């Protein structure tokens, strides 16, 4: 069977696998890839990007930057060039901006457009059209943008940017890097200082990259949380971007290696930004044998290689304060918890209810379908570990969610019986060669078109 992403509406079955082994690189970090394209479009001149994630979500952002006036090209060697139009130089798009399944792309570009006197319509797939946009609509409206959206602030929506964006001080009610980034992007074309106050620090890729492009941005601890302040109307200068490996994508082969007996793999070049590395801290606390090697800095991001060996895991209480640094990894953590000895408690993760799917409900349902007991609450779940003896044999509904699909395929590699997910087509949004990479490590994956 060829190693490529499954075709549309393709179920996938993960079979109990032999020991996994090998050295791999996972796709480029999705968060950093989105931002590299967006900030490249706002700089004057050419930004060269190496290691860009070429998944559907990021390719949608690349096409959006073209529609907003930037010149975006992919070279034969896999690098990308973005010739930007400068802050304030965006053109009004002639057609709707289609973000597919990408909430990150949609929310960040809403911030970008909100600071410019242009009108754009935002559309996406059925999953994205169910997700809440009010969290960015509220602060961007304060800055002078106008929205015409479906009930509940949902897409499709039309956004008219501010004729002259207003700098604001915004206290974010949720721990969301997307909200913070949207406000800062709008603030780029506003005179004066725009400040976002975060109750809990979130991933800081936007701040790191803005500094690299020459913006003046300061962070300090205030009485209400972390204060991030941006001075508007900078001239951004192009800089080369090397996109490190995505720790959220690396989570799947890492957990698979921890769970499948006899496994040992090396994952090269992933970012271990402290705002993204919560899963790896948690897996180590559970007894996971994860060795951090060759630590270095690339493009302003801390990067390292990981050596991962099969381990007997134990259940723990995951600190709620860690949620922001691993919010996308809870489904695969729940799979690891199913194989651990004792209970694993995860709380403070209500944000999972408004991701590509209700990830708490989808994860709990998938666990039960495979013989694992789980207790679900409004903002968390408790998984009763089976000390390595997970029955499997279940059929899991993915709800168009790539992380649910990959998490339960990981379960199938280590369970007693195969695990099937109803649709693997959306895996391509973030990890286009997941099936090929896992097969290359020795995992058994069988595709079947429905």
Catalytic residue annotation: 328
Total number of residues shown for the chain? 450
Distances (CA, A) of 36 to 176, 380, 400: 19, 33, 26
Q: Which residues of 334-373 are buried (b: 16+ CB within 10 A; e: fewer)?
A: bbbbbbbeebbbbbbbebbeebbbbbbebbbbbbebbbbe
Instruction: Determine the Cα–Cα distance for residues 39 and 381; give it in Å rounded to an integer.
Output: 38
Burial class (CB in 10 A: 0-12, 13-18, 19+), 65: buried
Closest CA to 154 of 107, 96, 94: 107
d(CA 137, CA 147): 7
CA dist 303 and 273 (Å) reads 8
Residue 146, H or E segment: strand 146-150
Q: Alpha helix (H) ranges present in 188-274?
A: 205-212, 247-259
Q: Which residues contact 223 (CB under 8 A, 6 or more apart)?
A: none
- Collapsed DSSP state (helix, strand, coil) of residue 57: helix
∠ CA 31-146-142, nearest 5°, is: 75
CA distance 157 to 155: 5
Structure tokens at 314: 């134990």
Rounded Cα–Cα distance for residues 307 and 267 (Å): 7
Rounded distance between C-alpha atoms, residue 205 and residue 35, angstroms: 8
DSSP track, 262-294: T-EEEEEEEE--TTT-HHHHHHHHTT-EEEEEE
CB 51 within 8 A of CB 242: yes
- If you ran DSSP here, which 8-state letter would residue 392 be given? B
Give the three-class secondary structure for 16.
coil
Q: Beta-carbon neighbour count of residue 291 at 10 Å?
A: 12
């Amino acid at each position: 069977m060829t190693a490529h992403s499954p075709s549309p509406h393709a179920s996938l079955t993960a079979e109990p696998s032999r020991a996994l082994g090998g050295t791999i690189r996972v796709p480029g970090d999705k968060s950093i890839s989105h931002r590299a394209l967006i900030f490249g479009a706002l700089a004057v001149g050419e930004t060269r990007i190496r290691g860009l994630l070429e998944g559907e979500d990021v390719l949608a952002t690349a096409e959006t930057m073209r529609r907003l006036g930037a010149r975006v090209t992919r070279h034969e060697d896999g690098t990308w060039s973005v010739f930007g139009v400068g802050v304030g130089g965006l053109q009004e798009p002639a057609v709707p901006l289609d973000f597919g399944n990408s909430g990150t792309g949609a929310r960040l570009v809403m911030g970008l457009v909100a600071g410019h006197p242009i009108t754009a319509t935002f559309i996406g797939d059925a999953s994205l059209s169910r997700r809440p946009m009010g969290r960015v609509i509220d602060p961007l409206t304060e800055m002078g943008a106008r929205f015409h959206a479906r009930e509940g602030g949902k897409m499709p929506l039309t956004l008219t940017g501010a004729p002259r964006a207003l700098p604001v001080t915004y206290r974010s009610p949720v721990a969301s890097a997307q909200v913070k980034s949207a406000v800062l992007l709008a603030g780029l074309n506003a005179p004066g200082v725009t400040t976002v106050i975060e109750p809990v620090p979130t991933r800081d890729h936007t701040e790191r990259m803005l500094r690299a492009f020459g913006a003046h941005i300061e962070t300090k601890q205030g009485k209400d949380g972390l204060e991030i302040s941006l001075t508007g109307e900078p001239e951004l200068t192009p800089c080369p971007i090397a996109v490190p490996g995505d720790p959220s994508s690396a989570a799947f082969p890492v957990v698979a290696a921890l769970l499948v007996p006899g496994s040992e793999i090396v994952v090269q070049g992933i970012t271990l930004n402290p705002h993204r590395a919560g899963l790896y801290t948690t897996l180590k606390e559970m007894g996971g044998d994860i060795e951090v090697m060759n630590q270095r800095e690339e493009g302003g991001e801390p990067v390292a290689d990981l050596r991962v060996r099969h381990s007997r895991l134990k259940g723990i209480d995951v600190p709620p304060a860690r949620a922001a640094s691993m919010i996308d990894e809870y489904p695969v953590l729940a799979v690891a918890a199913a194989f651990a000895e004792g209970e694993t408690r995860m709380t403070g993760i209500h944000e999972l209810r408004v991701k590509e799917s209700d990830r708490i409900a989808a994860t709990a349902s998938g666990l039960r379908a495979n013989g694992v007991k789980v207790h679900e609450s409004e903002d968390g779940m408790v998984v009763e570990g089976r000390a390595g003896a997970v029955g499997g044999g279940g059929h899991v509904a993915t709800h168009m969610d790539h992380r649910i699909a990959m998490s339960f395929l990981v379960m199938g590699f280590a369970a007693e019986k195969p695990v099937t997910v109803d649709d693997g087509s959306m895996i391509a949004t973030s990890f286009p060669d997941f099936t090929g990479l896992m097969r290359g490590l020795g995992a058994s994956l069988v595709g079947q078109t429905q």
